[in-house]
Amino acid sequence: MTSPKIKLTNVCKRFGPKVVLDGINLEVAAGESLVIIGGSGSGKSVTLKCILGLLTPDEGTIEIDGEPVIGMKRAERERVNRNIGMLFQGGALFDSLKIWENVAFGLIQGQGKNRVEAKAIAMEKLAAVGLGPEVAELAPAELSGGMQKRVGLARAIATEPEIIFFDEPTTGLDPIMGDVINDLIVKCVRELGATAMSITHDMASARKISDRIAMLYKGKIIWEGQTAEIDNADEAHVDQFIHGRAEGPIQMELRRL
């Protein structure tokens, strides 16, 4: 049996007294698309940041391609990251660079490609996400939110990574643009044959882009299974979450006036 592409074992993370991740165990197979769902503050973003090396877990191990990545030296981590693409929630495009330079950034800085070659690839990737050459010379601030998300996606796939992470890919977009982004994610991930891991609280998006779904609640994975099985999951938290009900075991922490 091949080892999983991403493996988290008993990952814990605390911020002061607050336990955010409480012993997470998760595996993502090569070529699989896993979506982690969960409410705000459930630990989704922290999980992603721990895998990306932006935060260091207090306990547990994280393996990428069978290689433990926690405590890796900076140069080693950069080598691992060269196989990773990331679409940030807000796009995280570099304001000081033009659109094509944003898309080509990983090619120029990470892979050492020259600017002419990198620009040609960037234009291809922009076309792949439905953006024409007219946007290439613009600044990120000149684009709408949906277009910025597409540029972020183009940047994430520009280096043709083996693993792509998506952080709330449809948040802040109208339903139609959200669906366009979902379609693009599915298309890009399939074309690259990449392993994908996403976090979202948008169930429409989760159903569309995932092979498998895991639900995070209070720092623990409380359910995981095939996407088709989620409607029949015999779990009250999952049932409440996917139907978006206020009543149920998940209680929002509201301060009464």
Partner 1 sequence: MNPFRPIGKAILGFFESTGRLIVFTLTALSHCVRPPFYLRLHGQQMIDIGYYSLPVVGMTTLFAGMALGLQTYAGFSRFSAEDAIAKVVALGITRELGPVLSGLMVAGRIGAAMAAELGTMRVTEQIDALDTLSTNPHKYLIAPRIIAGLTMLPLLVFVGDIIGIFGGYVVSVYKLGFNPGIYLSETWKVLEFKDVFSGLVKAAAFGFIVTLMGCFHGYNSRGGAQGVGAATTNAVVSASILILVFNYVITELFLKI
Contact between 102 and 158 (Cβ < 8 Å) = no
Q: Which is nearer to partner 1, 111 or 240 (CB)?
A: 111
Q: Is 218 in the site for partner 1 (CB under 8 A)?
A: no
Structure-token pair, residue 89: 């929630």
Site residues for partner 1, window 27-86 (CB under 8 A)?
A: 49, 52-54, 74, 78-79, 81-82, 84-86
Least distance to partner 1 from the beta carbon of 73, Å? 12
Q: Is 200 in the site for partner 1 (CB under 8 A)?
A: no
Instruction: Please tell me the distance from the alpha carbon of residue 158 to that of residue 118, in angstroms, as a whole number.
Output: 9
Q: Which is nearer to partner 1, 162 or 224 (CB)?
A: 162
> Of 66, 68, 71, 90, which lies in the binding site for partner 1, with binding defined by CB under 8 A?
90
Least distance to partner 1 from the beta carbon of 251, Å? 26
Q: Could you count the other beta carbons within 10 Å of the beta carbon of residue 190? A: 12
Region binding partner 1 by CB under 8 A among candidate stretches 90-98, 129-137, 168-176, 229-237: 90-98
Q: Which is nearer to partner 1, 43 or 85 (CB)?
A: 85
CA-based nearest residue to 6, from 55, 69, 58: 69
Contact between 60 and 229 (Cβ < 8 Å) = no
Number of residues that bind partner 1 (CB under 8 A): 24
Instruction: Please tell me the distance from the alpha carbon of residue 223 to that of residue 24, in angstroms, as a whole number.
Output: 12
Q: Which is nearer to partner 1, 78 or 231 (CB)?
A: 78
Region binding partner 1 by CB under 8 A among candidate stretches 60-68, 106-114, 125-133, 218-226: 106-114
Q: Which is nearer to partner 1, 54 or 120 (CB)?
A: 54
Question: Three-class SS of residue 156?
Answer: helix
Q: Is 109 in the site for partner 1 (CB under 8 A)?
A: yes
Q: Is 89 in the site for partner 1 (CB under 8 A)?
A: yes
Site residues for partner 1, window 138-197 (CB under 8 A)?
A: 155
Q: Is 210 in the site for partner 1 (CB under 8 A)?
A: no
Structure-token pair, residue 31: 């070529």
At 237, the amino acid letter reads: H
At 90, the amino acid letter reads: G
Instruction: Please tell me the distance from the alpha carbon of residue 8 to that of residue 198, in angstroms, as a whole number.
Output: 15
Q: Is 106 in the site for partner 1 (CB under 8 A)?
A: yes
Q: What is the DSSP string of 157-203?
A: HHT--SEEEEESTTTTS-HHHHHHHHHHHHHHHHHHT-EEEEEES-H
CA-based nearest residue to 213, from 222, 204, 226: 226
Q: Is 256 in the site for partner 1 (CB under 8 A)?
A: no
Chain residues that interact with partner 1, rule: CB under 8 A: 49, 52-54, 74, 78-79, 81-82, 84-86, 88-90, 92-95, 105-106, 109-110, 155
